[in-house]
Structure 1
Amino acid sequence: MRSLILLVALWGSSFALHAATPKDTLVVAVPLDGIISFDPAESFETVSNSVQRNIYQTLVEADRNSPQKLAPLLATGWQQGSTPHSLVFNIKPDAHFSSGNPVTAQDVIFSLTRAVQLNKAPSFILAEFGWTPENIASQFNVLNDHQLEIQWPAQIGQNLALRLLTAPVASVVDSKTVLQHVVNNDAGNGWLHTHSAGSGAFTLQQYVPQQALVLSANKQANPQPKLKRILLKGVADAGARRLLIQQGDVDVAYQLGPDQIDALKSDKNLRIEAFPSSLVYYLGFNTKDKAQPALGNPALWQAARWLVDYHSISQDLLKGQYRIHQSFLPQGFDGALEDQPFHYDVAKAKEILAKGGIKPGTKFALTVINQPPYIDVAQALQASFAKADVQIELQPVAESELWSKMRGRDFQSIFIYWGADYVDPNTNASAFAYNVPGGSKTLAWRVGWDIPELSAKTRAAAGESDAAKRRALYTDLQKTVQQNSPFVVTLQGAQQVAVRNNVNHVQQGIGVSLLFFDTVQK
């Protein structure tokens, strides 16, 4: 009851009085309708996945200032283990969870084992190790309370293994606390939907679905965060988010459209921070859809590449906030293709459609998030495809509903983003170019793209130790997906965030991310 009163007080006062936000609290306006769970073994959506970085810790992380480098987090260091496919980690002896329990080697084993066995959406990242629910128990050796050896059967090198361990799904949870909340053998998954058991700078104090999320400083964290509390307000409308930050009712506003960003640039009380982003935006076709078989026809995939008005969307509609990008590796990643072989050409698209037997008037639904830029881009696609007599029916939905539909193959086409889970080309290659029977439910699986030969090439690239050869393999993978696949990669965005001038030390990661809240000051 106390936390509810606190939440109401924090939320309500600024709306009513337009007063400054509390000095010890960062108030953030952002849509919260994409959240499904805060369990790091399940969380895979923009906001919830980003919150993981602030309430949990992994053994290692991408260096905040230079993400191509690795930095220790819960681990003080690591070295090769008993085989080339193993690593020994030393855990910080003074690391504690928010409960006060020490972080031990057993907690690391429990967390990784739990994520593999639950087999939720992000588990495919850990499957890169060759781990399965059947073999995971044999992959660890406890050397002492603060030292363990991690092994893996997959043909991947130690550098990629370390990169995989930076992903939120590899977060270390407090095993003693989680085990106290197991219901019907769920490994504590139900409880962790709305609670936390981590060693990060903050703890999850309260969550009201779609309305608000409160994070409180973890008293066990070392060093302590600069602020006592983070309040994320669920604000669905971009115009309302803009108004709130202009009035000083919030300190930070996310997911503002180009018009909102332009309107705020002249406001002397705030600034627009631009952060590099690994997000690539793509149009995907469900090739297994029974109601519209044209979606599985490569002719439609090819024509679609010429029916996207890339320049108009990037420069006119989105005002340069997103740049044209046509390969699955984002610019800034080693080996990313930066060529742009496709442009808007209706005549060429019509020719491809005719030769491929796609009839005029072909119609399909396009599912998108009901937020900018998705709905704006979807409307532009609807208009440009119509020029070739391909009819698109728009289906705007809340983000959480979109992910549920996508993971259940309950869609015809989709326009959405993909963000890197770790800084290595494999993070996107294993999503766009890997789908094998009985394997992880990757993006390629979600669109029903059966690619045994390409999947083998993706595995070969992951295991290649020679840097030049590895780069060449990823170049070939990108070209294949770019030229002939049910994915049409269109854009890459920079994350633009509105921040009040009294908020300092703001920093954000290159992946799907909110601010690193632990360093923010007011």
Structure 2
Amino acid sequence: MKHLLASAALGALVLATPMATTDAWAETPDDQLVIAMTLNNVLTLDPAAITGGETVQILNNVYDALAELNPETKELEPRIAESWEIAEDGMSVTFNLRDDVTFASGNPLTAEDVAWSMKRALELNLASASGFKSRGFESDKADEYFVAQDDHTFVLNLPQQDDPKLLIMTLTQAGAGSILDKELVLENEQDGDMGQAWLTNNSAGSGAYVLTDWRSNEHVILTRNENFWGDAPEMRRVLMRHMPESQSQRLALEQGDIDIGYSLSKPDLTALQDNPDVTVETVPSAGFYYLAVSMKDERFANRKVREALRYLIDYDGINTAIMPFFGVEYKRNINSHAFGVLPQPDYELDVEKAKALLAEAGYPDGFDTTIRVISTQQFLDSATAIQGTLAQAGIDAEIITGDGGQIYGAMRERDFELLVGRGGGGRLPHPDSNLRALAYNPDNSQDAGLTNFQGWRTSFYDEELNTMIENALIEGDTGEQIQMYHDIQRYMDELVMSIQPFSERVVTAAYQDDVDGVIVDVWTSRVEDVVKDR
């Protein structure tokens, strides 16, 4: 522990050093990676309780998982599990673990640690439990689900018919999939809390780094794990600095005081693109920017009205003028990185076609309505652009702004007409991840209160589509499963869904040009392979 305290003190000293203010180009140390990001949402570092991409970005470097998603292809790849076998009936997965892994503490990592970590997440019933509970796992049956067959064989038993691939993808995520050092955590247990208090600001992982210091809304310091089972990271220390202001991140990048900047605004990213010493990289992420309708409103329950709206979005104009660094033109309800996704449909802004559809629906002169939108710039600008194209077809839409609680609260209450928002699942590269969020709705009654389903929020219900989604999930033949997802997308095109994406979400980071191995997407980001080419 003494060496950790010493590292924390040294790291804090480095952080306290003022940023360079001269015109001379500064450089961060060759063996130290300095990242600027927003740490407002980092409330705990206990894997069982974490929420938000920033916390995932931290813990991906501290904890290992059985498998990982390739950042570029989104394919499943081994990590702590060298291999796995799915049972013929699809109701269990057997993982064969590496035999050379130790935790940072020096304790060996065994299948018992894997089983205990997952039981802990489920039984504590905090944020990370949702990854299991949404798949039918129940806390009082945890011992049946998570089984250590021997030291290096872990068996995951499914509680119900599901797609085992989707469960493995779930276990790649920091939180539900994080493997903890059972012995170390229980040594620090307080009043039966399974180490929750201690893990708030300590770590018990086997990842490339160890949590050395966390100061809320100031910084996180990670130090190289000398017991790491993989190749030793070139970066000895990682400093994650709380720097929420985009202009501060831009200045720090220009002066060489940081290596990587997240949370940069469009103007600053645009300016950095012209800097030969800085790389600006944009990659696909989860979910969409979309126009949603409430089908409680008889106008939007009319399929031809929804189809008219499909032709009253200037997809190209919005994505060219408003969405750079935030989104790219996209029209499907399944993310581009999911398997089985079809090419994008060919509809585009066509006011005359929309007018004809509105006339067929009984609204030749259009109608008055409202668009709810949060006041963040790219949302508001998109809503304003849609307001303009709706007007060309006679639809007079008043924009109502508010914060996230007000706007999405109205959606959760099913008390809106039109809404420009962002969401739709997709953190996992599986079609079901999007379909459950956007299309599936098992009970459309108001009393059901299924606010996690955006199909329910928009009062969209189609029993045949529900059945198609359920059947595709449990199809064991990969080729047949892909065909079923193709059929679902074509059927959704015919239905005209209540949520129409106009942009697929992307994430953007800027980093020094001599820094290699940066993974921009926070959900798969690890820095163990980052090097500085100096």
TM-score (norm 2): 0.80
1:31/1:62 CA distance change after superposition, 3 Å: same
| 1:516 corresponds to 2:504 | no
How far the C-alpha of 1:121 sits from its partner, in A, is: 4.8
1:475 counterpart SS class: helix
Match of residue 79 from structure 2:
73
- Asked if the contact 1:385/1:392 (under 8 Å) is kept, the reply is no
- CA–CA separation in structure 2 for the residues paired with 1:467 and 1:243: 49
Question: What's the offset of the Cα at 1:382?
Answer: 5.6
The answer to whether the 8 A contact 1:323-1:492 is kept is: yes
* Distance across 2 between alignment mates of 1:349 and 1:209: 51
- Contact preservation (8 Å) 1:11, 1:233: no
Which residue among 297, 304, 315 is the counterpart of 1:310?
A: 315
Could you list the runs of 5+ residues in structure 2 that have no partner in the other structure?
Answer: none
Deviation at 1:187, TM superposition (A): 4.6
From 221, 238, 245, the equivalent of 1:237 is: 245
1: distance between equivalents of 2:474 and 2:226? 42
* 1:415 equivalenced with 2:421 (yes/no): yes
* 2:455 corresponds to 1:455: no
Matched, 1:104 2:114: no
Q: Are 1:86 and 2:97 an aligned pair? A: no
Amino acid across the alignment from 2:530: V
* Distance 1:142-1:216 versus aligned 2 partners, 3 A rule: same
Q: 1:458 is aligned with what amino acid?
A: I
Q: Is the 8 A contact 2:337 2:429 kept in 1?
A: no
How far apart are the structure 1 equivalents of 2:422 and 2:433? Answer: 17
CA distance in 1, matches of 2:143, 2:403: 43
Against the structure 1 CA distance between its residues 71 and 480, is the aligned structure 2 distance closer, same or farther, given a 3 Å change threshold?
same
Q: Does 1:212 align with 2:219?
A: yes
For residues 379-394 of structure 1, what are the structure 2 equivalents within 5 Å? Answer: 380-381=385-386, 384=389, 388-394=395-401
Shift of 1:185: 6.2
User: Any idea what SS the aligned residue of 1:517 has?
Assistant: coil
After TM superposition, the structure 1 = structure 2 runs for residues 442-521 of structure 1, keeping only pairs within 5 Å, are 442-444=453-455, 453-479=464-490, 481=492, 483-508=495-520, 512-513=522-523, 515-521=525-531
Counterpart residue number, 1:201: 208
Between stretches 222-231 and 301-310, larger displacement belongs to 301-310
3-state SS in 1 of match to 2:482 = helix
Is the Cα contact below 8 Å between 1:167 and 1:421 reproduced in 2? no
C-alpha deviations, 1:63-88, integer Å up to 9, x for none? Answer: 456432x3221123333569652232
How far is 1:227 from its partner?
A: 0.8
Letter paired with 2:483: A
Q: How does 1:106-121 map to 2 (within 5 A)?
A: 106-121=112-127
Letter in 2 for 1:344: L
Separation in 2 of the partners of 1:208 and 1:408?
34
Aligned partner of residue 13 in structure 1, secondary structure: coil
Query: 1: distance between equivalents of 2:113 and 2:212?
Result: 22
Distance 1:359 1:266, change over 3 A: closer
- 1:98-247 correspondence runs (5 A): 98-121=104-127, 123-127=129-133, 129-168=135-174, 169-179=176-186, 187-189=194-196, 191-223=198-230, 224-247=232-255
Deviations 1:26-50 (A, max 9, x none): 1222333344544433434222223
Is contact 2:94–2:155 with CA below 8 Å preserved after alignment? yes
Alpha carbons of structure 1 residues 161 and 493: separation in structure 2 relative to 1, 3 Å? closer
Change (3 A) 1:50 1:496: same
Letter matched to residue 298 of structure 1: A
- Closer/same/farther in 2, CA of residues 349 and 208 from structure 1, 3 Å limit: farther
Structure 1 pair 159–249 and aligned structure 2 pair: CA distance change class (3 A): same
Aligned-residue offset at 1:442: 4.6
Find 1:272's aligned residue among 280, 284, 288: 280
1:78 is paired with a residue whose SS is: strand
Which segment drifts farther, 214-223 or 183-192?
183-192
Q: Find the aligned partners of 1:286 and 1:184 in 2 and give their Cα distance.
A: 49
Q: CA deviation at 1:111?
A: 1.9
Asked whether 1:7 is paired with 2:19, we answer no
Counterpart Cα distance in 2 of 1:479 and 1:380 = 28
Q: Deviations over 1:404-451 (max 9, x none)?
A: 969976996462245633333233233323344698945545666556
Q: Distance in 1 between matches of 2:195 and 2:366?
A: 51
Tell me whether 1:254 sits opposite 2:265 in the alignment: no
Q: For 1:253, give the aligned amino acid.
A: G
Aligned residues: 509
C-alpha displacement of 1:123: 4.1
Going from structure 1 to structure 2, the CA distance change for 1:148 and 1:92 (only over 3 Å counts) comes to same
For the structure 1 residues 266 and 361, does the alpha-carbon distance in structure 2 shift closer, same or farther, using more than 3 Å as the test? Answer: same
Q: What SS does the aligned partner of 2:342 have? A: coil
Give CA deviations for 1:116-142 in whole Å, capped at 9, x if unaligned.
334455545434654222433212332
Q: How big is the alpha-carbon RMSD for the aligned residues of Structure 1 and Structure 2? A: 4.0
Q: Which amino acid aligns with 2:477?
A: D
Q: Alignment partner of 1:110: what SS?
A: helix
SS in 1 for 2:484: helix
SS in 1 for 2:472: helix
User: 1:360: Cα distance to partner?
Assistant: 4.8
